[in-house]
């Protein structure tokens, strides 16, 4: 750094200044080393920013413990090499199995505690993969926002219906639809009823109708479709977009060859070309 007294140097042994422009690029270069490791067939490493998640698959408790130890030992060597610290308070694992007791997984000498569910990138994943804990968690956040909305507008005062509907679409609906690509295709009737009960409160808030008004009537008046249909729609869009971006279609034939092949299917022996018609017309005249 240039100062009035000359250049000043600071020795940086690890990390980078928070908020720097080059910080994400340096992190990508460093994280690419561990992401490019050839893991065993039943071990997969998923990463987003500085959040890493291992997916280990095995049919036995001992096999899961052995594969987890192999993966974590490699990851620990990489972390120690780059002077990275892993927060054990935020490190947990979930067992998706019918085993009565899960494997003992350790990070060095410290045991990683098992949990019934964990949150990754804002999505709550439970051991039954039912998505119900995620809906309950997002529903609590939506209810907090519902209480805040009542502070700025009531049934007879405050913002008008159009602004209330806009707030619902841009704030409440985004909260409830978060991560829909991960759980939107496996909604049970219990989850749908939970979403309908949450949605009904906001429909009453938007319209100012009586509490005895049917939910379907409120949806028709406001033009808002049920939340479970909206979530399923967004999950389908995400799946189609991912399929388009990851497709590597390479045609076996060129467009010219396909055109010729299609034209050959419709050729007839007793056809007349335009040149023959022109010749006949000239001959008649």
Cα–Cα distance list, 7 to 14, 17, 20 (Å) = 21, 19, 20
pLDDT for residue 194 is more than 90: yes
Bridge partners of residue 3, in order along the sequence? 6
Output the DSSP codes for 93-147. Answer: E---SS-SS----EETTEEPEE-SEEEETTEEEETT---HHHHHHHHHHHHHHHH
Identify the pLDDT of residue 267. 41
- Within the chain, strands assigned E span 2-3, 6-7, 43-48, 51-56, 92-93, 106-107, 110-111, 113-114, 117-120, 123-126
In the predicted model, what is the mean pLDDT of residues 25-33?
A: 87
pTM over 0.75: no
Identify the pLDDT of residue 50. 81
39-92 pLDDT per residue, tens: 988 999 998 888 899 999 988 889 999 999 999 999 999 999 888 888 888 888
106-148 pLDDT per residue, tens: 888 888 988 888 888 889 999 888 899 999 999 999 999 999 8
Which contiguous run of DSSP H or E holds residue 242?
A: helix 227-246
**The dihedral sign for the CA sequence 124, 127, 129, 133:** negative
Backbone Cα Rg of the chain: 30
């Amino acid at each position: 750094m240039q100062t009035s007294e000359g250049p000043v140097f600071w020795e940086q042994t690890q990390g980078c200044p928070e908020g720097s422009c080059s910080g994400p690029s340096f992190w990508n270069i460093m994280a690419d080393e561990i992401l490019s490791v050839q893991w065993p067939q039943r071990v997969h490493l998923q990463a987003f920013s500085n959040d890493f998640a291992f997916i280990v698959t095995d049919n036995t408790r001992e096999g899961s413990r052995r594969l987890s130890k192999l993966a974590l030992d490699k990851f620990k060597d990489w972390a120690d090499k780059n002077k990275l610290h892993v927060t054990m308070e935020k490190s947990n694992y979930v067992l998706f199995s019918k085993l009565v007791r899960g494997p003992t997984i350790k990070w060095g000498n410290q045991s990683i505690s098992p949990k019934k569910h964990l949150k990754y990138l804002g999505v709550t994943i439970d051991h039954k993969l039912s998505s119900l804990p995620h809906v309950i968690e997002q529903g609590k956040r939506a209810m907090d926002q519902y209480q805040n909305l009542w502070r700025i507008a009531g049934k007879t005062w405050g913002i008008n219906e159009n602004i209330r509907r806009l707030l619902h679409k841009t704030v409440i609906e985004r909260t409830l639809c978060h991560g829909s690509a991960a759980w939107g295709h496996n909604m049970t009737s219990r989850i749908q009823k939970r979403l309908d009960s949450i949605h009904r409160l906001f429909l009453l808030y938007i319209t100012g109708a009586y509490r005895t008004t049917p939910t379907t009537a409120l949806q028709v008046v406001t033009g808002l479709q049920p939340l479970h249909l909206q979530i399923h729609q967004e999950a389908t869009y995400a799946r189609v977009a991912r399929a388009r971006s990851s497709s590597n279609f390479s045609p076996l034939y060129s467009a010219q060859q396909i055109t010729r092949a299609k034209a050959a299917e419709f050729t007839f022996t007793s056809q007349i070309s335009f040149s023959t018609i022109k010749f006949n017309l000239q001959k008649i005249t």
